[in-house]
């Protein structure tokens, strides 16, 4: 196969990449703060609210993203709510992101050594000050690498939005395939595009992980 | 010694249960302003737990705590301490831990300034000035902008002492401050503590360092299995202990 | 409707368990390659794992099902799904094993060598049991993830739960009900398994952690 055709394919896929990045970006921008909220609610809120938060998280994590996508795109119309493909995708991805991110955040909050909590208390810091100045900064350092890893995974998962007709990479690939009657090279090009973004991103996360570990 | 009016700090009938196990059994101790108390005993005697009950890092199952004007009864039927009460308590009672517990993501200077600003409301300049004074006192002025990770154990503990002093507490609690340090380094810390004592700080020290107890403490309390078995001045306790457990403990510790 | 959709569960289970089983065996080879003495083998192993993990499972599925068909290898949806997920699992499980091996430490190997155990004995009797104990929780967690990924098989025509729910939606328009059933089924499967994983983790910690 000629290099030119390859580049041609990849060129056609690029708008899909942009959409995929947009979708990922929005899901993270909404999902991560939501996850922090959930983590705090699960840890500190009164029982009923904590239970609701746990339910929210478990559903986001326990149901395959594909099924969540279908629920919002094909399920809601049953009760007369008809979201656009992108909106359905954003909702599903945000829920899923929040689900996984909550676990990461909770785990990082727990990883802050007990001695730190005691030192902060013994020096008179209020609970909120203790959280803001001692727990959160240390937990953040622990949580950042896994959260970045999650972001990469979410980017890869945008491929699923294909099934509800979001114009991301796979959708673009599919159309390209129908035009050229050559699915194999087109899908290979799609694979290459994902790999080209994922591999450097993962390497970046690893180096950040190493640098964070050195500081603390 | 100091005037014996009512003790500045007094813990009465402190009992602590962890589930089925009774870790502290009716422990009572008082300390006058300016005095130094040393609490010694075998591991697991409840010494650290008792110390942590004083600043309510641990909540006793029952007992009475009086520190200056602050008074709280603990146990079934009593309300737990309010956040404000806890804050006031901890402003006046400083604590130094065995594992230092400096905040690793803050510089030494920031470690010492944080509580001053957030708890005492001092502004940035005041806090830094005070921090520098304290760092001078413990001999670490040049480490002000370093992170704890770059400091040795002995240096970290000195910073920890400075951090606790930054709130101008009336009482200082020391929980085995030298146990995690080499003997030589530990000796430096002990001499800092000795200076503090000479300056009139009221101190409660849990330690294995019998030398410190003998030289600096006004009273030694021996704790075994959650109870105080013997109390008295250091000379008497060490040369002429009465309680069999005390003898056994001292035999093991001093007979090396 | 409920019954029709839930019948797809069989496929979910078969694909999940089957791929996991094959992947866990292949994963040993992957871990072996990643820790081999020969640098070339190690690099090849690294490339294998990196590429598999850098491409989304959906893309792999399509490549295997549609792509291979174009060069003459026509697989049934089920076969394509099994093949794809087994290979993907081998990469992830291989990495999990590798992590477990790293945790083990040289001391075990040195002790065994000094006792004169053969390499095979070392592997089977000393290394594997300990690595297995360390990585079991991660393996279970991965298994749960694999089960959720298996829903993707619906996109290439495997008649499992998600596929059936789609059919039902197209026929009756009751999408919410249909997919709620699917979602519920996955929750009922993954939540207990999640607890089991956590339980296994704690048991392992209590019993076997030496350092």
DSSP letter for each residue of chain B = ----SS-SEEEEEEEEEETTEEEEEEEEEEE-TT-EEEEE-STTSSHHHHHHHHTTSS--SEEEEEETTEEEEESTTSPPPPHHHHHHHHHHEEEE-TT----TTS-HHHHHHHHHHHHS---HHHHHHHHHHHHHHTT-GGGTTS-GGGS-HHHHHHHHHHHHHTT--SEEEEESTTTTS-HHHHHHHHHHHHHHHHTT-EEEEE-S-HHHHHHH-SEEEEEETTEEEEEE-HHHHHHS--SHHHHHHHHHHHT-
The pLDDT tens digits of the residues spanning B97-124 come to: 999 999 999 999 999 999 899 998 889 9
DSSP code, position A162: G
* Residue C100 burial class via C-beta count within 10 angstroms: exposed 0-12, middle 13-18, buried 19 and up: buried
Among B160, B202, B166, B199, which residue's Cα sits nearest to residue B178?
A: B160
Choose the most confident range, by mean pLDDT, from A133-137, A165-169, B215-219, C134-138: A133-137
Does the structure show a pLDDT above 90 at A10? no
Calculate mean pLDDT across residues B28-50. Answer: 89
Two tokens at C69? 């068909």
By the 8 A CB rule, do A94 and A34 touch? yes
pLDDT of residue B96: 95
Whether residues B90 and A123 touch (CB distance < 8 A) is answered with: yes
Count of C-beta atoms within a 10 Å radius of residue C19 = 26
Q: What is the strand order of the sheet B70-74 is part of?
A: B21-31, B9-18, B62-67, B70-74
**Option in A123, A137, A138 nearest B167 (CB):** A123
Tens-digit pLDDT profile for residues C58-108? 999 999 998 888 888 888 999 999 999 999 999 999 999 888 888 776 666
Residue B196 confidence (pLDDT): 92
Which of A15-29, C28-42, C101-115, C131-145 has the lowest average pLDDT?
Answer: C101-115
Look over chain B and give the mean of its residue pLDDT values, rounded to a whole number: 87
Task: With beta carbons under 8 A apart, name residues in chain A contacting C152.
Answer: 64, 66, 160
C154 lies within 8 A of chain A by CB: yes
* Minimal C-alpha gap between B255 and chain A (Å): 33
Tokens for C83, please give them: 């093949």
Per-residue pLDDT at A188 exceeds 80: yes
How close B240 comes to chain A (CA, Å)? 37
> What is the pLDDT at residue B256?
40
Average pLDDT score over chain C: 85
Q: What is the pLDDT of residue C53?
A: 93
Q: How far is CA C109 from the centre of its chain?
A: 28
Looking at residue C211, its pLDDT comes to: 44
- Cβ of C166 within 8 Å of Cβ of A70? The answer is yes
Please give the average per-residue pLDDT across A83-107, as a whole number: 93
- What confidence tier does A27 reach under pLDDT thresholds 50, 70, 90? very high
Report the distance separating Cα A116 and Cα A138, nearest Å: 10
Neighbours of B64 (CB within 10 A): 17
For range B143-151, the mean pLDDT? 91
Is the model's pLDDT at C113 over the cut of 70? no
Phi and psi for B64 in degrees, rounded to 5? -135, 135
Contact A122 B55 (CB under 8 A): yes
Instruction: Work out the angle at residue C167's Cα, subtended by the Cα atoms of residues C163 and C169, and round it to the nearest 5 degrees.
Output: 115
Report the C-alpha gap between C61 and C81 in whole angstroms.
7
Which residue in chain A has the smallest CA separation from B146? A215
Nearest to A116 by CA among B163, B202, B162, B43: B163
More confidently predicted of A174 and C152: C152
CA distance C148 to chain A (A): 5
CA distance B19 to B160: 32
Q: Chain C: nearest CA to A78, how far in angstroms?
A: 6
A 148-177 residues with CB below 8 A of C?
A: 156-157, 159-160, 162-163, 170, 177
Q: Which residues of C are less than 8 Å from A184 in CB distance? A: 63, 66-68, 70-71
In this prediction, residue C204 has a pLDDT band, given cuts at 50, 70 and 90, of: low
Please give the mean pLDDT across all residues of chain A.
Answer: 90
Decide: B225 and B248 in contact? Cβ < 8 Å. no
Helix (H, G, I), strand (E, B) or coil at C110: helix
Q: Is the pLDDT of residue A128 over 80?
A: yes
For the CA atoms of chain A, what is the radius of gyration? 21
Q: How many CB atoms lie within 10 A of CB C147?
A: 21
Q: Which of residues B133 and A214 earns the better pLDDT score?
A: B133
Q: Is B105's CB within 8 Å of A216's CB?
A: yes
Spatial CB neighbours of A17, under 8 Å, sequence gap ≥ 6: A168, A169, A193, A197
B124 exposed, middle or buried (CB, 10 Å; 0-12, 13-18, 19+)? exposed
When pLDDT is cut at 50, 70 and 90, the band that residue B148 belongs to is very high
| Chain C residue closest in CA terms to A198 | C54
Distance, CA of A214 to CA of C39 (rounded, Å) = 28
- CB-based contact B243:B229 (threshold 8 Å): yes
Q: What pLDDT is stored for residue C209 in this prediction?
A: 52
């Amino acid at each position: 196969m000629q290099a030119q055709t390859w580049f041609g394919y990849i060129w056609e896929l690029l708008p899909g990449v942009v959409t995929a990045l947009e979708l990922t970006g929005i899901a993270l921008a909404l999902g991560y703060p939501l996850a922090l909220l959930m983590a705090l609610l699960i840890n500190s809120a009164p029982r009923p609210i904590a239970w609701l938060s746990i339910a929210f998280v478990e559903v986001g994590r326990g149901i395959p993203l594909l099924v969540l996508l279908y629920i919002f795109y094909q399920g809601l119309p049953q009760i007369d709510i008809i979201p656009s493909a992108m909106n359905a995708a954003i909702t599903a991805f945000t829920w899923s992101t929040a689900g996984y991110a909550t676990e990461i955040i909770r785990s990082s909050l727990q990883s802050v050594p007990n001695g730190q909590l005691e030192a902060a208390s013994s020096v008179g810091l209020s609970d909120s000050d203790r959280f803001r100045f001692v727990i959160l900064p240390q937990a953040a350092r622990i949580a950042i690498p896994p959260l970045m890893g999650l972001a990469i995974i979410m980017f890869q998962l945008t491929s699923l939005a294909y099934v509800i007709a979001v114009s991301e990479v796979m959708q673009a690939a599919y159309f390209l395939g129908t035009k050229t009657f050559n699915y194999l090279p087109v899908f290979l090009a799609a694979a290459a595009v994902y790999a080209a973004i994922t591999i450097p991103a993962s390497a970046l996360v690893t180096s950040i992980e190493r640098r964070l570990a050195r500081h603390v | 010694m100091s005037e014996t009016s009512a003790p500045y700090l007094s813990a009465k009938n402190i009992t602590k249960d962890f589930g089925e196990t009774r870790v502290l059994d009716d422990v009572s101790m008082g300390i006058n302003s300016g005095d130094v108390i040393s609490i010694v005993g075998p591991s697991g005697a409840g010494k650290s737990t008792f110390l942590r009950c004083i600043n309510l890092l641990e909540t006793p199952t029952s007992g009475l705590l009086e520190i200056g004007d602050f008074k709280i009864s603990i146990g079934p039927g009593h309300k737990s301490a309010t956040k404000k009460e806890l804050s006031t308590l901890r402003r006046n009672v400083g604590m130094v831990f065995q594992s230092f517990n400096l905040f690793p993501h803050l510089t030494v200077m920031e470690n010492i300034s944080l509580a001053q600003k957030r708890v005492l409301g001092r502004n940035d300049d005041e806090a830094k000035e005070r921090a520098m004074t304290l760092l001078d006192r413990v001999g670490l002025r040049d480490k002000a902008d370093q992170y704890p990770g770059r400091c040795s154990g002995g240096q970290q503990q000195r910073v920890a002492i400075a951090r606790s002093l930054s709130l101008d507490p009336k009482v200082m609690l020391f929980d085995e401050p030298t146990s995690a340090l080499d003997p030589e380094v530990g000796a430096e810390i002990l001499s800092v503590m000795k200076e503090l004592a000479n300056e009139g700080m009221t101190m409660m020290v849990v330690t294995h360092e019998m030398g410190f107890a003998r030289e600096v403490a006004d009273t030694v309390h021996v704790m075994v299995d959650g109870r105080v078995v013997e109390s008295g001045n250091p000379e008497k306790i060490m040369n002429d202990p009465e309680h069999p457990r005390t003898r056994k403990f001292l035999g093991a510790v001093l007979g090396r | 409707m409920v019954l029709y959709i839930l019948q797809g569960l069989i496929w979910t289970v078969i694909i999940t368990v089957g791929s996991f089983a094959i992947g866990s065996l292949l994963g040993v080879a992957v871990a072996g390659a990643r820790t081999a003495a020969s640098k070339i083998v190690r690099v090849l192993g690294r490339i294998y794992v990196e590429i598999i993990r850098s491409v989304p499972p959906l893309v792999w599925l399509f490549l295997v099902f549609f792509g291979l068909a174009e060069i003459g290898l026509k697989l049934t949806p089920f076969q394509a799904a099994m093949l794809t997920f087994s290979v993907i699992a081998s990469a992830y499980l291989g990495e999990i094993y590798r992590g477990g091996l790293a945790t083990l430490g040289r001391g075990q190997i040195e002790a065994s060598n000094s006792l004169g155990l053969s390499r095979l004995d070392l592997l089977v009797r000393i290394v594997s049991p300990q690595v297995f104990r360390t990585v079991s929780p991660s393996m279970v967690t991965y298994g749960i993830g694999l089960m959720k990924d298996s829903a993707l098989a619906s996109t290439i025509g495997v008649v499992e739960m998600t596929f059936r729910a789609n059919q039902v939606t197209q026929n009756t328009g009751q999408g919410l009900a249909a997919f709620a059933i699917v979602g519920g089924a996955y929750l009922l499967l993954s939540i207990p398994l999640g607890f089991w994983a956590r339980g296994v983790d704690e048991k392992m910690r209590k019993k076997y952690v030496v350092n």
